[in-house]
Amino acid sequence: MHLTPSQLDKAVIAIRTLLPLEYPADAILRRFFQENPKLGAYDRTFIAETAFGILRHRLFLEHIVDSVTPRSLLLAYLVRFQGVNLRELKAWARESEIKWLPSIKAVKIVSQPLSIQAELPDWLVEKLQHFMPDAEILNLGLSLQKTAPLDLRVNTLLAKREQVLEALLQDDIRAELMPFSPCGIRLLDKPAINRHPLFLSGKIEVQDEGSQLLGYLLAPKRGEMVADFCAGAGGKTLLLGTLMHSKGRLYAFDVSEKRLNNLKPRLKRSGLSNIHIQRIVNENDLKIKRLSGKFDRVLVDAPCSGLGTLRRNPDLKWRQSAQSIVELKAKQASILSAAAGLLKPGGRLVYATCSFLPEENQEIIADFRTKNPEFDLLNCSELLAEQRITVNTGEFLQLSPLTHQTDGFFAATLARKKP
C-alpha cells in the first residue's frame, strides 16, 4: 500500500466528517466525495474502505489509543489492521506518533472484554446474552467485522444464470454461483458492476442472497395479486415480478417518494410490466384499507434495526440503541397488522427483517398470532425445500453471515386460514 501525505490528510478530514454519525455513513461519504471532486478513484477507494474499516473496529481502536482523534484512529487502524509499516508513515506521522504506534500492534485482542472483541456495543451484547452464550456472540461479532461480498441477482426474464456467469468470467470478473438462491451469483471482488453492460441492460441487479430468498419464500404465482408492503427502492419487488413472469398485479407500497423514485429506472431496465408503484402516507393509508382482503401474497420487509447488515453498515451499531429498538417494535407490529389485512383467505404473508434480535422477530410474530388466531405459521425450511432450496433453519428463516455468508435476515411465513 503506497500512501501519500495528501491521501492521509484527506482521510483524516473524511473521518472527522463521518464520526458524529448524524446520518448514514454511506450518505456522509457520498456528500464528502461530491464536495471533493478532484479526488481520484484510488483516493476515493482508500478513504471509503479506511473509514468503514475504522467503523468496524472502532471499539477496539478507541480502547487502545490514548487520545481519540480522527488522526489517531487512522494511524492505529492502518498499523493494526492494514499492516502498514511505520516507515511508510514517517513522511506524515509525528515523532511522538511513531513512538506509540508499535504498542498498538502488541495489544492482544483476546485479553479485551467481550464487547471489544466482538465489536458490539454493551447494550447490544446485553440483549444477545439473553439468548446466546458468549462464545456464539463472539463468533457472530467476528463474522460481522468482515466485509460483505457483492451479490448479484440474475433477471431470469432477460437472461439465464449460467449465461451471465459465463459472460462475467469472460470479462475477467471472478464470480461463482450462489449456494442457495437459484438466480444468484456472488462476485469475489468489488468491480464497478453498475457500469457493466449486463447491469445497464437490466440482466443483473445487486441484491444480497438472503434478500433473494425472501422472494422464493413468498413464492408468488402468475396472475396473482401481490404486494411488497415496504418496497423501498424495489430490489425485492423486481424479484417478485420476475417470479410472476410479469403476469398479474404487483403493488410496490412505500412511504418514501425518494425511495420509490429510485425504483423507476430499475423497473424500466427490468422489462417488467406488472408493477404498480404506490406511495402511501403510512401503513393505515386509505389506499391500503380499500384493498383489504384482495391479495394472494404480501411481503413485509419491515423497518428494523438493520443489525443483520453490520458488515455493510457498521455505523448502525452507534445509530441504534436499546430505546430505538423499543420504538421499532411498535412500528413493526402496526405494519404487520395493517399488511395482514390485505390478505384474502388462503393467502400467504412473509414478515422479514434484517435483524437477529428476537424482539424484532419471533416476539412480533408471537404477539400477532395471539391477537390474530386466524393465521397459521408455516415452516420456512419446508417451503423453500418445495423449490429445491435447502436452508434448514427450522420454522423460521434465520440467516447469518457466519453460517450462510448472507446478511442476518429473519423471516416468518403466515397463512390466513380459509373459512
The residue written with cell numbers 440482466 in the block is 203
Task: Give me Rg for the CA atoms of the chain.
Answer: 23
Task: List C-alpha distances in Å: 313 to 141, 144, 309, 356, 394.
Answer: 13, 10, 6, 15, 27
- DSSP letter at 276 equals E
Residues 6+ apart with CB under 8 A from 254: 230, 231, 232, 260, 279, 280
Positions annotated as catalytic residues are 354
Contact criterion met (CB below 8 Å) for 409 and 210: yes
Q: What is the DSSP string of 161-189?
A: HHHHHHHHHHTT--EEE-SS-TTEEEESS
Residue 48 CA neighbour count, 13 Å, CB half: 18
Residue type, 291: L
The DSSP element (H or E) to which 322 belongs, if any, is helix 322-340
User: Going by DSSP bridges, is the β-strand pair 410-416/375-378 parallel, antiparallel, or unpaired?
Assistant: antiparallel
